Structure 1
């Protein structure tokens, strides 16, 4: 039985609404704003159950604020999110959003901008073929990493323990390959005569600057996600 000082919270699309008194809940039931199938949380028993599962409410409630209850169970959601999971922490959900929605579009952006910008070296440069081969290799690796990140995001959202491991491995592979390609490009630039570089328009330069800025932001997020997963993946509700 609930004590006269018990307070209540209602589950509204994953958020805890309250604290509420018996009278407030009764009024909401009478006005059909809520139903007996809605989930509620008691400050006495400290668990979420449908209103129909609780015994009759006792009148009266404390005026003092109580500690908010934990997040309502997934069963209380009217619509399950498409790319996140309410059981995951905010950072884990941001990783899901990135891997499932942002990363594929960024790969398309990088690919299109690379096709527009072309190679840094001119067509007659001796090492132009090496640069083109490196660009093609980087594009294929990026595609593989994007697919791997998507699979990891799907499994993370499904609360599978393999999800964080796949994402961490994908970040390591992407970082290593792109670092090697960058160093190789620096060697090619040093070995090339200044007259062998291709001329680019202002529009192409602006596209390169924009894509470079986006790449820096993405790299910062990936490094943050890498260290966060290494430290906190064991605390997530994974199986």
Structure 2
């Protein structure tokens, strides 16, 4: 038996995959893994994958190596387990596809900062109508309601992103509902702004400096890009949410 095990270990067709921070490196032979272990480039706590047993285990859990066919060796292994990461990702989940992780990054990190940008822009530059315009109160009320709605959507997106990262079924549903509500409300406010601009006298509009106009243009481009990503996320989740590894 001992001789058979040695023969298996020394078989050049033995193939293994090494997990380092969620990336599968391989195929590797038994000798290559042994050399890396002896040179302290890897440790017994690192995960390895067998092309025969189709399983990830710590290196210390393998008592012997088995050879596999060339066909099975060339097949890439599944995603390494979360335990193979030296540090668990803060905003993403290695079990999710790239687009789902980008949605997590947007909802958990980018969206809150964009809301702060919009609030700062609204507070700093105020209304487009001067204080003596008859409709200035209506515009100020619209801006206030828009800030409240955007805050609610941002909080809802954050909750949905956190649940998506945790592989919860409710995550995509919350994100989809938040995007639908945000799209409907923002379209309503856009039509409202058009009506106010059409009803107001041109002499009641506040004159803006070049710096203010450039900042408004920057905020508009950011908001347009965010809207495009939100709609892309909406269609992607509606089509692919059922294929995600959610529990």
Please tell me the TM-score bracket, short chain as reference: over 0.9
Q: Relative to structure 2, which stretch is displaced further, 117-126 or 106-115?
A: 117-126
Find 1:136's aligned residue among 128, 144, 149.
144
Q: Is the 8 A contact 1:125 1:196 kept in 2?
A: yes
Deviations 1:143-175 (A, max 9, x none): 011111111111111111111111111111111
Structure-2-length-normalised TM-score: 0.91
User: Which residue does the alignment assign to 1:49?
Assistant: 57
Deviation at residue 60 of structure 1 after TM alignment: 10
User: Which residue does the alignment assign to 1:30?
Assistant: 38
Give the Cα separation in 2 of the matches to 1:74 and 1:191.
Answer: 58
Deviations 1:182-220 (A, max 9, x none): 101101111111111111111110110000000011000
Q: Is the 8 A contact 2:46 2:58 kept in 1?
A: yes
Give the Cα separation in 1 of the matches to 2:67 and 2:115.
Answer: 59
CA separation of 1:161/1:59 partners in 2, compared to 1, >3 Å: closer, same or farther? Answer: closer
Find 2:121's aligned residue among 107, 113, 116.
113
The runs of 5 or more residues in structure 2 that have no matched partner are: none
The 3-state SS of whatever aligns with 2:88 is coil
User: Which residue does the alignment assign to 2:74?
Assistant: 66
Q: Is the 8 A contact 1:22 1:61 kept in 2?
A: no
* 2:101 aligned with 1:98: no
Q: What number of residue pairs does the alignment pair up? A: 239
CA separation of 1:74/1:60 partners in 2, compared to 1, >3 Å: closer, same or farther? Answer: closer
Q: Relative to structure 2, which stretch is displaced further, 31-40 or 158-167?
A: 31-40
The 3-state SS of whatever aligns with 1:123 is coil
Q: Equivalent residues in 2 for 1:138-177 (5 A)?
A: 138-177=146-185
Alignment RMSD: 2.0
User: Which residue does the alignment assign to 2:91?
Assistant: 83
The 3-state SS of whatever aligns with 1:209 is helix
The 3-state SS of whatever aligns with 2:74 is coil
Structure-1-length-normalised TM-score: 0.94
CA separation of 1:231/1:136 partners in 2, compared to 1, >3 Å: closer, same or farther? Answer: same
Q: Relative to structure 2, which stretch is displaced further, 43-52 or 160-169?
A: 43-52
